[in-house]
Amino acid sequence: MSTYNFDDRAVRWNRFGDFVPAFHYTILDLDEKSRVVDVLFKLPANEQILLHRHHALNHTFVVQGEHRLYETDGSLREARPSGSYTVSPASEKPHREGGGEQDAIILFSIRPGDNEVLYELLDDEQNPLGTITFQTLVELYQAQQASTPG
């Protein structure tokens, strides 16, 4: 069986915050009335992004690589191979995410319902650092649209 990589050269990636390691996103669509946001995230290979909690329903499809989820202590919780589709409800259990041996590209369809907070960002001791809200994504989408040529 042949292995293929997703050609993301035409994707206009945006850096998500000033987090280290850096991860990137592009918002494909945002429906304010239905409150659904479709986002491509690019998670760095062999790295773990910031500890966080999901406060909204997320449907994910792994486009490229392996989507890895980690426990708070850094141990691997789950590895989702390319082509995997997962429905994950909101959860109070924090985790980190990252790519496997290559950058992972994952389509997230975020469906918050009436929740305004989508993600809660945490430090290593699980103290709150901030939140990503639906309005945060509305503003990021508007900025992305304004900076898109032609």
Q: Is residue 125 assigned to a domain?
A: yes
**pLDDT(130) > 80:** yes
What 8-state DSSP symbol labels residue 3?
-
Per residue in 47-67, pLDDT tens? 999 999 999 999 999 999 999
Q: Is residue 77 assigned to a domain?
A: yes
Q: Is residue 10 assigned to a domain?
A: no
For 126, phi then psi, to 5°, come to: 70, 25
Count the domains in the chain.
1
Q: Is residue 68 assigned to a domain?
A: yes
CATH of the domain at 119: 2.60.120.10
Q: Is residue 59 assigned to a domain?
A: yes
Please give the pLDDT value at position 149: 77
Q: Is residue 106 assigned to a domain?
A: yes
Q: Is residue 119 assigned to a domain?
A: yes
b/e code 80-117 from CB counts within 10 Å (16+ = b): bebeeeeeeebeeebbbbbbbeebbbbebbbbbeeeeb
The sheet carrying 128-133 orders its strands as 52-54, 117-122, 128-133
Q: Residues 63, 107: contact at Cβ < 8 Å?
A: yes
pLDDT grade for 2, boundaries at 50, 70 and 90 = low
Q: Which domain holds residue 38?
A: 33-147
Q: Is residue 28 assigned to a domain?
A: no
pTM of the model: 0.94
Question: Is the preceding omega at residue 94 within 30 degrees of 0, hence cis?
Answer: no
